[in-house]
Structure 1
Amino acid sequence: MLLALAMGTAANAGMAASAQEGAAPVPEASRYTFFVGFGPGGVPDLAARLIAEKIQARHQIPAVVVNKPGVGGMLAAQDVLDATPDGSTLLSVTPAHATAPAVYRNLRYDTLKDFAPVTLIGDGPAVVIVPAASTVVDMADLVRRAKAEPGRLTYSSAGVGGSTHFAAELLRQKAGIEVLHVPYKGVAQAMTEVVAGRVDFTVAPYVAAVKLVQAGKVRALAVAGKQHMPEMPDVPTVPESGVPGYEWSFWYGLLVSAKTPPEAVARLNREVVAILHEPDIQTRLGEMGVAIAASSPEAFQALLTEEVAKFKAIATAANIQPN
């Protein structure tokens, strides 16, 4: 998924060094606002707060984070578009930003044309988890049971049309199984249902699952990335577990209005990429299972374009109807 970003990331290593040595700061403003379309505590919120704290400390300019959850992040996105497009108002996004065109029939904005990418922040793998008391042995066993009794097994998601829903639907398609979707309002609720044993499995962001796995409240069947995770060294990848071709990551990035002057976007990119390369930021995000993947705006735009097309294809195959 992130191959297109490799060149942008490498190119920005030089930008990071330049910014750290005194490159032009973010555009002058009296205040910087980071809108997050989700509640406090998740990666898009915490990453925005880390970056905002750095900008405030560097330039003695107030930088605040505003959480405005609802409608898959669309409310926050609209607030960014309604603000003055001078580079002082940013949107912290996840794959939910790219699922919106496949889920909502009457979007008030164009996901790809109305926003200008600043940079990708990073990404973290998904993890397929089951209740601690589940009798499912491994990923192959889950697939076997689902094929034996189509439609009996259930999975939770953070809501219809969200990235966790699409992650599970792609798994269903790749594995050739039929399972019942049980949507909830947010990742926390979806995870609670797995802990309580009221659903059979979910495909969760690594950051949401790792502590529950370590505490023995859920079991991890497989990691939906290309490699094993240090905290779960014995947990195989999904392809190793018998579902070839399945990979999923939850990425995080920053956007501004497409009306923002290009020079303001460029300065923001240099500033944020430099921040992301600071050791304490890498450590903090790494603790959340997020690998830094700072990119050029062009590389992030390429990823968004690819993701929008992918999610539309998943929605069509899964018969996810736009609202």
Structure 2
Amino acid sequence: MRKLTILALVFVAVQICAAQGPATGRPPFGSFQDGEFDSVNLYNLNVNFAIPIVSMPGRGLNFNYALVYDSSVWKKAYISGVGNVWRPVTDASGNATWGWKRTDLVPGGIAYSTRQDEICSTERWHPALQEWIITPYYATYYYNYAYTDADGTRHPFDVAFYGSNPSQCVSQGIQIPTGPRTGTATDGSGILLDASSPTAPTVTEKFGGVSTFDSNGNFITKTTLTGGEVQWKDTLGRIVLRIVSGSDAGGNFRDYFFRDASGTEQKYRERLKTITVSSAFLCSGVQDYNSVSAIVVDKIELPQVDGITPTYVFSYDSKGRFTQVALPTGGTYTY
């Protein structure tokens, strides 16, 4: 048994040192071991689970919000002049996630980027100023379309185009790509994107699910109020979820307010804590990440039942990786 334990530890160490970029969520064609609470990627041993906050059926468009966690929190990066280094996995804004998905994107939503490009310009002589006046004309470029499914898996699309070509540029014979505006996810998942309306794209999953905007115009919008409260509203303007941050004697927290089937407002409280982490993998040729403070989820408190607050409690190791969760039912998962 001792030999088996040593071999297992060596195997895990090799997996970590060989890793390039952790595949989180449930990437297509992966091999997984699914439990009642979690799913383990058998290739890279990433643990993925989701704690649902609110799920509301809609006419053509459902709203689902969950806290999603992936245990692969480190990635290998190359820095010119330094070489290979360990860096924490980050979100789209460059912030370390430490496993917990923190984006403006509800699982089941679509993100994209835009920029303004100068396409052409015109010149005219200004007699009074005795100089040429140059007027540039711009077009909006839409790119980086990506869909995040309910498991927190990101599916990118190689779809990029200009919204329109300024008439002044057309008259000069300048052509720019304004399509195609549809495409299939590049990860082989079979998910289809239709960005015919660039700012209101639709996504059809392999088995027919549609998210963010549907063909009838139903949608979910996110608004950040003064003071930091975040609200998610449906097409009718109803608040389906609001998120409020605060602190008390127990530390910092985020409250998730939603209404149950009876219309009564309920609350999930996500308690946060700060831990000190470093990579310390000691991999040959890869520089480790120095100690840094990381904000992670400590507990998730569910609505009270008969005066008792069911709670998830999470534990982490010195590398910031998830080691155990105590379930509200009294059981535990240890990794």
> Larger strand proportion, structure 1 or 2?
2
> Larger helix proportion, structure 1 or 2?
1
Q: TM-score, normalised by structure 1?
A: 0.24
Structure showing greater radius of gyration is: 2
Q: Which has the higher contact order (CA 8 A, sep 6+)?
A: 1
Q: TM-score, normalised by structure 2?
A: 0.23
